[in-house]
Amino acid sequence: MRGCAAGGTSLRAMVVAMPVLVARALELLKGRSSQTTVLVEEGDLTRLPKLRLGELDLFVGRLEPV
């Protein structure tokens, strides 16, 4: 990511990932592209179909072993 790119993205994250992983990733993103907007929502695996449909850009969480 170089330059002054701007845009928007949507992210859904499980609560376990938000305090450290998501917070740090957003800090790095904003440091490189301050004009980028990110919609962050808390969610669980029930929202994964939105990722497939293109209604969600990124999901951050952990999968339970089967």
H or E element at residue 9 = strand 8-13
Domain holding 17, by residue range, is 8-60
Q: Which two tokens stand for residue 31?
A: 């440091």
Residue-wise pLDDT for 10-40, tens only, equals 999 999 899 999 999 999 999 999 999 999 9
Kindly state whether residue 43 falls inside one of the protein's structural domains.
Answer: yes
Note whether residue 20 is domain-resident: yes
Residue 24 covered by a domain: yes
Q: Does an H or E element contain 50, and which? A: helix 48-52
| Residue 2 belongs to some domain of the structure | no
pTM for the model stands at 0.73
Structural domain count, the chain? 1
Cross-strand bridge partners of residue 8: 37
Do the domain assignments include residue 66? no
Q: Is residue 47 part of a domain?
A: yes
Quick one: pLDDT band at residue 2, thresholds 50, 70, 90? very low
> Is 30 inside any structural domain?
yes
Contact by Cβ (8 Å): 22, 13: yes
- List the 37-42 sheet strands across, edge first: 37-42, 8-13, 58-60
